[in-house]
Structure 1
Amino acid sequence: MSATAGAAALPAEAAGAELRRGAWGTTWLLLTFMLVNFADKTVMGLAADPIRDELGLTRGEFGTAQSAFFALFSLAALGVSFLTRRVRTTVLLLGMALLWSVAQLPMLLGAAGFGTLVVTRVLLGAAEGPAAPVAVHHLHGWFGQRERTLPTAVLMVGAAGGVAVSAPLLTVVIGAWGWRWAFGIVGLVGLVWAVCWYVRGEEGPLAPPLGRRSPSSAAGDGGGASVPYRRLLLSGTWLTAAFGAFAAYWLLSAGLTWAPDYLHEVSGLSLRQSGAVVTATAVGNAVVLLSHGLLARRASRKGRAPRLPVGLGGGLVMCVAAVSIAAFAEVDAVGVKIALMVGPMALTNVILTVSQTAVARITPAGQRGVALGALAFVYALAGILSPLVTGRMVDGASSVPAGYRSAYLLMAALVAVAGVLAVCFLRPERDAARLDVPETPGAGPPVH
């Protein structure tokens, strides 16, 4: 039975409570989905040294293996996003979880070498590429426009939480059983999540109907008349959101791959100490995302807009983060570096929530999955380029510290440009009015 049908059979107050439970129950399940997703990505960075030692890889070759994860990531994100108009997101999410879990398990075999590593990372990336856009699209089927920032932020916390939870656990696994079992553990956990989702996953009351629809029928489901994708994807809001997410994902991907190596080689920390710093950084990322979501929710519940427009607020935060990244590259004190990683550098992640909700605002409900998939297509390109470029810069520099310094200054420049663009062009309400996309109302009483 769907959430809508079940709620309709209940008195109004009970129906509202049922919808709230369903909405937040789905949010927690999808948060776990993203936790597993980013635990998968974390394995390579945490196991970098033992993998390179056992397989005899240079940093450039290791960066190539990590970039292989994103070889089909973007294409899969875009391709599967079109399926959201034909296939229920519950089915798509289940299929992705099963595929990415199975893709991890071959690395348990002792004979699996560099070739197997590259192939499995390609398959894993193809399975995980659509994860975020499909999960956000599914989640927005449970929440109205003004209620979405906090649950979207909770979902994005999965990126930070996946690192925070997995880093210490996988560090212990790698030390006790070897790096191959780190791949096996995350694969098995993914299979467990798939079973839970098969039992509990369901569509929300605001999910758009499936199949091809005329503009009039699109308007009938509350999503507004269909808008040509060319107009959507060339709007200032979509382009700025895409570049901002690209810059944030560049920093995130570089950190997942190279932060443990940087902390070990440049700052002199042990593997266990590096894992602890990565965990602390992930916690800082989670705090930033949740704080942003709670502030937006507080403003929404009071019926007023945030004190700063979305673009201005998000852009200024990105500029502060850019200055912090540049300072990180220049200072030598380990304590200062760690403080910057845990604190102001984490502000970059705000744009990940802002970009998702801004794109959802300017897009009719039936086209939302495709617009979010196209957004993922762009920012996932950073996942291809960032590990590879960073590895090559370090290998080609006069020293490892010099290479990492240049790599982090490049990251700072990307984030700074994204911040300036957000201040100037991220205007979801203006572009929604221009595209004639009405605000999506809530499905009932406000979700608390």
Structure 2
Amino acid sequence: MDRLRTGDGAAAEEQVCKGAWGTTWLLLTFMLVNFADKTVMGLAADPIRDELGLTRGEFGTAQSSFFALFSLAALGVSFLTRRVRTTVLLLGMALLWSVAQLPMLLGAAGFGTLIATRVLLGAAEGPAAPVAVHHLHGWFGQKERTLPTAVLMVGAAGGVALSAPLLTVVIDVWGWRWAFGAVGLVGLGWAVCWYVRGEEGPLAPPLGRGPSAVSDGAGPSVPYRRVLLSGTWLTAAFGAFAAYWMLSAGLTWAPDYLHEVSGLTLKQSGAVVTATAVGNAVVLLGHGLLARRTARNRTAPRLPVGLGSGLLMCVAALSIAVFAEVDSVGVKITLMVGPMALTHVILTASQTAVARITPAGQRGVVLGALAFVYALAGILSPLVTGRMVDAAATVPTGYHSAYLLMAGLVAVAGVLAVCFLRPEKDAARLEVAETAPMGLAVH
């Protein structure tokens, strides 16, 4: 913490505070672009399938190809966080995923090009969340991380909320190919901003292989197998897997479901997707602000993170099941915007819980392993959902079964979180000390 106490007292702390939250907003934009990339396929599903002559199963295969190297890249690049500065890694990912979008502007680009570019895009975006979280945690102490992590995760919802109406207009006016081009160009713009403004935080662990590189003053390194086999890590991984299953299915198939089953137009479906994303963002920010307030109020009783997030997931699971059973479009939209959004709380809780049980120098690798697991849902969810709908007697029947499967996964994850998500207990068992606070405030 000596680095944080140097300088001109309050002025130095103010400077660190501005840097921390400035980095948070930049990385929020990073995640906005990241999820705008993912949204394109779902919004342009009908024109893509019509022009390229694809079945829902084939389209699901194209969407799943995005995750072909996603998990492996997330795990592989996470090991580089011990050797390469995260500012450099984030810049490289942004450049690569932006360039990967542009070939679809070519009129001759067909199904094969779509598959190839989605694979490349997934390889570039796979490490995005774990590397961004690892970089962000280099600016904040342990007790201060929930809110900035929640802000970062809002990028998932915000990327959908902002991109859905804009890309729908692009698709209507210029065609679906320009939707790919638009997000590619925006990504290149972010890369320029990051090159100018991106920097490492004062709590970032040093690079290298020595003990100082993994402990960061918070105790010795811990064998990875002990961390990865802990109840907290396993529960966080399954919870994030279930949440990502729902997220991936929604990004790919929600517009089609709303159009084919609920009878909404493309523009109406886009509006519902936007409203759902806003609901997700409100839930994530509300959870982050509540956790921050509780952490700062030392006299208030604290609800264990596993119990709180687990109960919310159980409520979400019940809401998904009701969504599958009811016919009212109004009720479905209400559930999508409200209770079903509670599923995504585990995305923040899992990241902060895993960071709590891991020494700072090993954090990037362990977060990458977490991304490796939950990204598997990105491979399976669009593919399984598409196959279930194609194999069913009718489209509504297929989607009904797919949503009940989703509800089951979320319910199991919620029960497991209540029982086994215990970061403080596992951190004590693994002898991982808590990162000291920086005393930062939101500006």
Normalised by the length of structure 2, the TM-score is 0.98
C-alpha distance 362-106 of structure 1, shift in aligned 2 (>3 A) = same
Native 8 Å contact 2:317 2:407 kept in 1: yes
> Does residue 447 of the first structure (1) align with residue 432 of the second (2)?
no
What is the identity, as a one-letter code, of the residue corresponding to 1:52?
R
Match of 2:367 in 1: 372
Q: Which runs of 5+ in 2 are unaligned?
A: none
* SS of residue paired to 2:307: helix
Q: Which amino acid aligns with 2:200?
A: E
In the TM superposition, what are the counterparts of 1:59-70 in structure 2 within 5 Å? 59-70=56-67
2:53 aligned with 1:81: no
Counterpart of 1:21, as a letter, is K
Cα 1:256–1:305 shift into 2, 3 Å: farther
For the residues of structure 2 that align with 1:89 and 1:218, how far apart are their CA atoms? Answer: 15
CA drift of 1:223 comes to 3.1
Pairing 1:203–2:203 present: no
Report whether the alignment pairs 1:429 with 2:424: yes
Q: Contact between 2:205 and 2:213, CA under 8 Å: does it hold in 1?
A: no
Matching residue of 1:194: 191
Q: Give the Cα separation in 2 of the matches to 1:37 and 1:218.
A: 29
Pick from 286, 291, 296 the counterpart of residue 291 of structure 1.
Answer: 286
Q: Look up the match of 1:403.
A: 398
Once the two structures are superposed, the pairs formed by residues 35-184 of structure 1 within 5 Å of their partners are 35-184=32-181
Equivalent position of 1:225 in the other structure? 220
Q: Is the 8 A contact 2:67 2:378 kept in 1?
A: yes
Shift of 1:408: 0.1
Is the alpha carbon distance of 1:169 and 1:435 closer, same or farther for their aligned partners in structure 2, counting shifts above 3 Å? same
**1:314-393 to 2 correspondences below 5 Å:** 314-393=309-388
Q: Is the 8 A contact 2:213 2:361 kept in 1?
A: no
Contact (CA 8 Å) 2:67, 2:123: kept in 1 or not? yes
Counterparts of 1:67 and 1:306, CA distance in 2 = 43
May I ask how many residue pairs the two structures share in their alignment?
Answer: 442
CA 1:46–1:218: 2 relative to 1, 3 Å? closer
Aligned partner letter, 1:303? R
Give, in angstroms, the shift of residue 306 of structure 1.
5.6
Distance 2:299 2:67 in 1: 40
Counterparts of 1:56 and 1:258, CA distance in 2: 17
Amino acid at match of 2:284: L
Q: Which runs of 5+ in 1 are unaligned?
A: none
Structure 1 position 48, deviation (Å): 0.1
- Mapped contact 1:331–1:337 kept (Cα < 8 A): yes
Q: Distance in 2 between matches of 1:10 and 1:223?
A: 23
2-side partners of 1:222 and 1:331: how far apart? 54
Instruction: Summarize the alignment of residues 236-247 of structure 1 with structure 2, pairs less than 5 Å apart.
Output: 236-247=231-242
Partners of 1:174 and 1:447 in 2: CA distance: 41
Kept in 2: contact 1:296–1:306 (CA 8 A)? no
8 A Cα contact 1:224 1:365, kept in partner: no
CA, structure 1 residues 440+333, in 2 after alignment: closer, same or farther (shift >3 Å)?
A: same
Question: Displacement of 1:446 after TM fit?
Answer: 3.1
* Cα distance in structure 2, aligned partners of 1:106 and 1:254: 25
The 1:33–1:306 alpha-carbon spacing in structure 2 relative to 1, beyond 3 Å, is: farther
Q: Distance in 1 between matches of 2:297 and 2:313?
A: 26
Partner of 2:82, secondary structure, is: coil
RMSD: 1.3
